[in-house]
Amino acid sequence: MFKGLKPIVYGGHEVWPLIEGGKGVAVSNHQSSGAWAAAGGIGTVSAVNADSYDADGNPIPQVYHGRTRPLRHQELIQYAIDGAVEQVKRAFEISGGKGAININVLWEMGGAQPILQEVLSRTKGMIAGVTCGAGMPYKLSEIAAQHGVSYLPIVSSGRAFRALWKRAYSKAAEWLAAVVYEDPWLAGGHNGLSNAEDPNKPEAPYARVKALRDVMREGGIPDTTPIVMAGGVWHLRDWNDWIDNPELGSIAFQFGTRPLLTQESPIPQAWKDELTKLEEGDILLHKFSPTGFYSSAIRNPFLRDLESRSERQIAFSLEHAGDHTHQLDVGVKGKNFWVTRGDLLRAREWFGHGYTSALKTPDNTLIFVTDEDRAIIRKDQADCMGCLSHCGFSAWKDHDDYSTGRLADPRSFCIQKTLQDAVHGGDVDKNLLFAGHGAYKFKKDPFYSNGFVPTVGQLVDRILTGD
């Protein structure tokens, strides 16, 4: 047992302060989270468009029949509710009453509030708490309190937590079980980099977590309420000076990337194989997500294609002005696009290489893509089912007039489509594969030598040794 690590009381009984990070769209499912709880930790079922199953145990494809986005959005909400309820029930059964089961939701997912309300009402006594990030989930505490479950907000700064506490959480303080600090430079998936922070200049987590604890103390929150360190956590021995540290108070640890490579992990074998090949630097912190948030994923051909798509980009004016003195004569219909001479030459070069379609972005620029890619982009935008509360790729909004009022952005992608395809056996080179920046350690850690893939129980036992 790693020195200093002690169980905490959560959900009414003792558990290890080790949390499985919630990974959306069927990646943290009943198998992984149930096994994590059975090993004495806190397993996390993703309640983001989780899988339901048919009578033979096969995942039910999420096919949309509605002719309009609002109708498809209602189908998506129902899929999400049914899937999450099914996953929680199965995880709870696997746990055997050990550990605890949380669910994870993204506040910016489409229909987040009705989904959360319905899932909690249909799983009473099974869910210990709700982790929630990707946005500012002010109503999280109110919903959790209504259903008698704990809430664990995910933040990336003390400043964000202060806003949540003052506006809402202080009114339901008794249900606050922990605050998750998700390091925006190290964690996989979407993260909370603010406009004041430089994605290329990572800040060490200790001072930021200490600042978060100071904010919690200002609010009268006891030091026994843990801060969960999430992002970049691999070996507990690396965090030895955090445990029993009076400056930080109670600390727990969240593991998001390591549980990907377990026998119970539901991701396809090709994805697991990809994890064992990664080198340091192979995870890209990028802003292509239609959420508008930065996120981190494996820099595979899918992401490299998005990078090159944005590089084939030029600014335009709708009139002859300034240095926009040349009319664009490739990729567009009509003569109403004025560009610089240099950009005209670049556009003609791209056109000659097969990038023959120019698509407008919300920033008065044009990107050049192949006709095939243009057709895929337009189809994906038309097929939007409203999986986000605000989507940059399709200009969808899940309330009011259902429009963000901005032009749909072809530099982004349909995140629902690619995440569903990735976890259900799609080509790993053609889909988004979220991972934390420590994923390169799979290749270096002797625990995984000779192709060894542990069970979740074996992984938790290994983590508890400090390794």
Amino acid of residue 374: R
1 band by pLDDT with thresholds 50, 70 and 90: low
Phi and psi angles of residue 120, each rounded to the nearest 5 degrees, phi first: -65, -35
Cα distances from 391 to residues 408, 409, 412, in angstroms, run 8, 9, 10
Cα gap 382→351, rounded to integer Å: 25
164 band by pLDDT with thresholds 50, 70 and 90: very high
Q: Tell me the DSSP string of 330-387.
A: SSSSSS--EE-HHHHHHHHHHHHTT--EEEE-TTSEEEEE-HHHHHHHHHHHHT----
The predicted model gives 318-344 an average pLDDT of 92
Q: Is the pLDDT of residue 419 over 70?
A: yes
The predicted model gives 275-284 an average pLDDT of 96
- Share of residues in the chain with pLDDT > 90 (%): 92
The predicted model gives 81-108 an average pLDDT of 96
Contacts of 348 (CB under 8 A, 6+ apart): 329, 330
- If 0-12 CB within 10 Å is exposed, 13-18 middle and 19+ buried, where does residue 394 land? buried
The predicted model gives 227-252 an average pLDDT of 96
Determine the pLDDT at residue 25.
Answer: 85
Cα gap 135→140, rounded to integer Å: 11
Cα gap 263→127, rounded to integer Å: 24
Strands in 189-190's sheet, in edge-to-edge order, are 189-190, 295-298, 283-286
Strand partners, 313: 367
Mind listing the pLDDT tens digit for each residue in 77-90?
999 999 999 999 99
Q: Hey, which bits of 64-167 come out as E strands?
A: 100-106, 129-133, 150-155
Count CB atoms within 10 A of the CB of residue 323. Answer: 13
Q: Which domains does the chain have, with CATH numbers?
A: 8-266+439-464 (3.20.20.70), 298-423 (no CATH)
Mind listing the pLDDT tens digit for each residue in 332-391?
987 789 999 999 999 999 999 999 999 999 999 999 999 999 999 999 999 999 999 999
The angle formed by the CA atoms of residues 51, 56 and 61, to the nearest 5 degrees, is 35
Of the candidate ranges 36-40, 71-75, 193-197, 213-217, the one whose mean pLDDT is the lowest: 193-197
DSSP-assigned letter for residue 21: P
Amino acid of residue 462: R
Kindly report the average pLDDT of the chain as a whole number: 95
Mind listing the pLDDT tens digit for each residue in 392-409?
999 999 999 999 999 999
